[in-house]
Amino acid sequence: MKTNSNYDEKKDQKEWDTGDFEFGKPLGKGRFGAVYLAREKKTHFILALKVMFKSVLEKAQLEHQLRREIEILSHLRHPNILRMYNYFHDRTRIFLMLEYAPGGELYKELQKNQRFDDNRTATYIEEISDALMYCHARKVIHRDIKPENLLLGLRGELKLADFGWSVHTPSLRRTTLCGTPDYLAPEMIEGSPHDENVDVWCVGILCYECLAGFAPFEAPTRMETFRRIKEVNFKFPPWISEGAKDLIAKVLNRTPSLRLSLEGIMEHPWVKTKSRRILPPVYSEVEKQMFMASPKGS
């Protein structure tokens, strides 16, 4: 990955490097690097640093995907989307300066609790729907919604993260197969052109998994999972409420255009009565001063 590319710093911006931060515990590890808790030395501002190795990204031919993720994240400002403040690089690594979500992954929280109640699930569904409405209005499809890509903020609010498979497309029509098997929409499995409704489908899957403790189309093999998805073949456990069943059934419609809209999800009686959403506070002054400028290379 050449250092004179889009990653290069602009002369009028603060030139960040690893010496500006105190590194703390690792928050997670992935195929291309790791995420660390960090503190900016001058202001003591706490953030997460995602560290990726250029050689690994080059080998996997994912440089373009990372550039796209950075470009998309640099323009998103929403309380339920994990904020990217800035980025920098050295000879071997790329560092994304990300908002720290102290609650960790929704996936781990769901594993610990086995399943969530109606109030907690409805709150998450309202938050993710609002975040996706914001993305779709800006012609961004996420395409990889799953509990592992959802983090929890200081007040337990949902933070949509990992835009690695996301795409900015003015027409909102794509054909690439991407995402996680349990969360793939029927049109993606079949290789048909897809639009922002693949994200809407994922909201229905997420709602079911939060309430049931497992995904609706879960099966021993990927092919069986795909078959069940294409047939929309699933059953509700007895403990799921009628209101939640009604919402999930309206979202998990095989025909993309007939799925309940994100606005419809937020206005659904079950969400309206069960959600306990609290909007997090606006960004602090330190945050604004340090990071609100456009990322380097944009």
Question: Which residues make up each annotated binding site?
Answer: 31, 50, 99-101, 148-149, 162
Q: Is 144 a catalytic residue?
A: yes
User: Catalytic: which of 118, 144, 182, 199?
Assistant: 144
Please tell me whether residue 196 adopts helix, strand or coil conformation. Answer: coil
Integer angstrom CA distances of residue 67 from 7, 72, 86, 87, 113: 8, 9, 13, 11, 36
Amino acid occupying residue 159: K
- CA nearest 128: which of 78, 71, 72? 78
**Where do the DSSP E strands lie in the chain?**
21-29, 33-40, 46-53, 84-89, 93-98, 104-105, 140-141, 150-152, 158-160, 167-168
Amino acid occupying residue 114: Q
Q: Let me know: does 49 contact 98? Beta carbons within 8 Å.
A: yes
Question: Which two three-digit tokens encode residue 130?
Answer: 């609002």
Q: Which residues are annotated as a binding site for ATP?
A: 31, 50, 99-101, 148-149, 162
Question: Which two three-digit tokens encode residue 47?
Answer: 């953030």
Residues forming the active site: 144
